[in-house]
Amino acid sequence: MNEADRRFVEQAVARKDLFKNLSILSVIAGALLGAYYAVESMRDPNFDWGVRAVLVVLILLNGRQNLRQFKYARALEGLLPLVETTD
């Protein structure tokens, strides 16, 4: 592993908690926004869901990506001691 790869891994591990928190926040924001739009559509039968539904899906997909980054960082954190001992 070269120095650039090592820095990348160390930065990803350092941001592990950030990825987890962003994932949780994205899921909460997407769920609340979806619930808000559901209530608005019950109040107003002419409420347009189109773009709003896409926005909710994109927010939830962002949360999924942050969760994936968290899992990769956690896996790299476990592998980092193995790489350091083989150098």
Residue ranges of domains in the chain: 3-86
Per-residue model confidence as pLDDT tens digits over 51-81: 999 999 999 999 999 999 999 999 999 887 7
> Which three-class secondary structure state does DSSP give residue 50?
helix
In tens, the pLDDT along 1-51 reads: 788 888 988 999 999 999 999 999 999 999 999 999 999 999 998 989 899
Q: How far apart, in whole angstroms, are the C-alpha atoms of residue 84 and residue 43?
A: 60
pTM, rounded to two decimals: 0.81
- Percent helix / strand / coil, the chain, rounded to 5: 90, 0, 10
In whole angstroms, what is the distance from residue 70 CA to residue 9 CA? 12
Residue type for position 11: Q
The Cα diameter of the chain in Å comes to 65
